[in-house]
Chains A and B, each alone.
Chain A
Amino acid sequence: MFGDILVLMLSAVLIENFIFSRFLGCCPFLGVSEKPDTALGMGCAVIFVMTLASAACNLVYNFILVPFNLEYLYTIAFILVIAALVQFIEMFLRKAVPSLYNALGIYLPLITTNCAVLGAVILNMQKYSDMARGQSFIFSVLFGFFAAVGFTLAIVIFAGVRARVEYADPPKCFKGMPIALVTAGLIAMAFSGFSGATIG
């Protein structure tokens, strides 16, 4: 069990990193990575939402969709649950932890329609739906958490690189987004080094 969790952690964070090997969540990755501190804010918001969404969607899948043979409607069900969950979290944080609410700011509602969250939930369903309910719940939550940690790692590294690239002097046609995309590609290549690692 412990070994399984370690493998899950390493593969979710590094080897199958959401951004660099699955290419999920590229839009916030490029959109809010101009400053390291906002990137970290976004990353924390994603960790928060993805963990909770994994838990909620696992329950919805196992207790509503499977018993009534509705598995084929998982996309709609998951989107519905994620959207409602993010709204709920936003209201809750605003009341209970205003400081965290202010820190996450605009990023929280942005995550409602983030493909990384939906992707994590769907991957959970594909990977762990054969397991017993209890075990599949635990693994889903862990996968959601570590995948989001991988996302945060990627976006913070990228924001750090971008902060440097800002002051470089590339040819005019490369300025702004093109050089950012080239940079992202180079980091993705570096991360592909992890895919050679075989665990277990």
Chain B
Amino acid sequence: MTVPVMIIGGFLGAGKTTAINQILRGSHQRIAVLVNDFGALNIDAHLIEAQDGEIFALSNGCVCCSIGPDFSATLGRMLALTPPPARIIVESSGVSDPWRIAQLVKLEIGASLEAVIVLADALDLPRLAADRWLSDTISRQIARADLIALSKCDIASTGMRAEARAIITAIRGDVPIIEIERGVLPTVMVNPSTEPQPSRFLADSTDHDFRTWSWRPDGPLDDALLREVLRSLPPCILRGKGVLQIGSVASPMVLQLVGRRWSLTPGREAIDAHELVLIGTNALPTPGNLEAMFSATRIK
């Protein structure tokens, strides 16, 4: 069992610290958060239960740590914690390409890359994308993100949001974009993905104007066909989870999907209820269309 690692990137001021703070405070799971600057999180001293060098243990079971000069080494220390964290969230620095960190995560035994979410400031993105010193840095961050969270949508006008979306789409046409307000990433995006039941997602997706779709296949699915469908999903699909029987293998496979990134891994225990849940923007295809797409993957 590997620990899922989510990278949260984006330029300075996009709201990474706010988002991470929110995750940390709202968590009911043991999350380890790796940040550039612990001080910036502004954690109340009474919430800090113990400190061991750069590692801070919080009273809700979460752990915070400054990344320091060697990311791999710090990640290794987080993976070695007892008990291990349910998941790890990494804040990449404002000028770095978060994909570089994601690549290191992929190399680490015991960790699995969940997704790279890049925050983009809906108010500031047009300026940054045109900045003679920064435009290439911004492009690199967006070009390899699995999902873009457009931040400050509570104060950005419709026109500004559209302009920011157009900039993102010009850099990468197929990346899913969600609009967030007051720096809060939707629970469904950052919820520990260790929950076995996909339907749990439906309850978590009510805090945004999301559309959901769930499906119970009545038989095993074809591996190649399913992967083909997953690869060609439209960018309006933001999150997915499934417990599915694939081919003739008796034990189920678990599908995790965040933005453009998905994985199919063997499930831990036998679950009878095979189920797929997708969450998307209001552009989510109709249930009929989705059902047609996925039904075509059933083994005939």
Say whether A and B bind each other: no
> Which residues of A come within 8 Å of B, CB atoms?
none
Give B residues with C-beta under 8 Å from A: none
